[in-house]
Chain A
Amino acid sequence: MTKKTICLSLGALAGALAVAQFALAEPTVEELRTVLHRDFHPKGQATMDRVDQDAVQRLCTDTHDKPPVELEKALEADQLKTVVLPADGNLMGDWKRGEKIAGSGAGMTWKDKPDAANGGSCYNCHQLSPAQPSFGTIGPSLAHFAKKRGSGPEAQKYVYSKIYNAKAFNLCSQMPRMGYSGTLTEQQMKDLTAYVLDPASPVNH
């Protein structure tokens, strides 16, 4: 998340903004960037580079999450290259630990301590265990995922990679890139993969 976008001189931007205030045209991305850097300040671990967009965020913003297919495929391929699979080749961790990670929404905000363990916020958006009634619906239900998709090596690689970088599979997905953004550790992503795929996990009961 340290990509630098186009750099223009601040003076030129301020001038452009002053004109734009009295024009009826919508503000440009550069004008918006000026406003964000002026009106926001760093707090805790939330540093100012976070208001700058990388290529994925910018394309999805500009196209209201409906990018042209060719660009979408190209950027998805780029995103897939960022996925680092565990060196030991073992993608299945402990589903019990995974359940705790799935239920925690902590992490990456200015209130969260940078060295504290982050959660995956999974239940905020997904149904997982059918026994847990408090789940969000921004993402699809993952209940009985292994029954539908299997739990072999291919399914494991897909689930781990999807958690690591959701944008590799659906460029403008609302799902955070949990590995790429440094939110979750390799072990946490293994534990979540097990929570989704392990036949003993409540997700598959």
Chain B
Amino acid sequence: MRALRGSALLAAAALATAAAPVTAQDTKQEIQKYQRMTAESSPVELWELQGADLWKRKSGPKNASLERCDLGMGPGVVKGAYARLPRYFRDTGRVQDLESRLVTCMTTLQGLTEQEATKRVFGNADNPSDMEYLAAYVAGQSRGVKMQVSTKLPQEQATYDLGKKLFFYRAGSWDFSCASCHGTEGKRIRMQDLPVLSEPQGARGTYTTWPGYRVSVAQLKTMQWRINDCFRQQRFPEPAYGSEATVALTMFMAVNANGATYNGPGTKR
């Protein structure tokens, strides 16, 4: 892990040197080159392996593993499950994304309280969270699978509609909605290109590469984290982890990405 982080830092240093005296176009090309380099040496697989171990490890008051966790395709079926999430679960009566569903499995199978299961969901470079490892593992088991998120059930359709409404809702100190940054084609913040997540093209490319390993911070970030940090930058209060609002936004993006092949966990700047 240390060696990988070191090489990422070297790549970043090389980029900084190369980009110093040049134009925006040159900088953009350098960034694209850097993105290719980092993708090739991405440590995402290590997260997936660690997550697979955690999945099988007995834990919690019930000393049970997550191997019987039902991610929507039956207990224990992991392959392809992520490409169909979020979805409605009859046992909880809720539409759930991967992370809120994992919390359900930790409480029902392992006997943790919800508070215990969500105590430390966002880790750091030195100490990633169990949730990050697990999310990487489960998502990785849908690599190559077509996104096929259902809105057939009324609860699923209602969740999509709520997500869409939230996406365009302007509020906060700076009057931002999600669409302020992700609503118009061809825009960027600083040098970072902004996908239009309300349209299939933008949603497909982006959603299918999350969760993602972020090179600049040497961490694997989950979709719940991504939404949380967007709201921080929107100058909003904080959304609760796995809340209906965050699942609804995930649903909106996931459905917009339908038909694309899932290709994550990806590697980000």
Listed in ascending order, the chain A residues whose CB lies under 8 Å from chain B are: 1, 20-27, 32, 35-36, 38-43, 46-48, 50-53, 56-57, 60-61, 64, 108-111, 123-125, 133-138, 167, 174, 176-177, 181-183
Residues of chain B contacted by A124 (CB below 8 angstroms):
189-190
Binding site for A on B (CB under 8 A): 19, 22-24, 26-27, 154-155, 157-158, 161-162, 164-166, 168-177, 180-181, 184, 186-191, 194, 231-233, 235-240, 243-246, 248
Quick check: A22 and B155 within 8 Å, CB to CB? yes
Inter-subunit contact A138/B187 (CB<8 Å): yes
Contacts of A64 in B (CB 8 A): 168
Interface of B is mostly: mixed
Q: A25: which B residues are within 8 A, CB to CB?
A: 161
Provide a sorted-by-A list of 22 A–B residue pairs whose CB atoms are within 8 angstroms.
A27-B162, A27-B165, A32-B162, A35-B248, A48-B237, A53-B171, A57-B171, A60-B175, A108-B173, A109-B233, A109-B235, A110-B232, A110-B238, A133-B23, A133-B26, A134-B191, A137-B188, A138-B189, A174-B175, A174-B176, A176-B173, A181-B174
| B9 CB, nearest partner CB in chain A, Å | 19
Nearest CB in chain B: distance from A24 CB, A: 6
Inter-chain residue pair count (beta carbon < 8 A): 144
Would you call B233 and A61 a contact (CB within 8 A)? no
How far is B243's CA from A19's CA once the two chains are assembled, in angstroms?
19
- Measured in the bound complex, the distance between the Cα atoms of B191 and A138 in whole Å is 11
Closest B residue to A58 using CB positions: B170
Judging by beta carbons under 8 Å apart, are B176 and A1 in contact?
no
The interface residues of chain A lying within 8 Å CB-to-CB of B245 are 35-36, 39-40
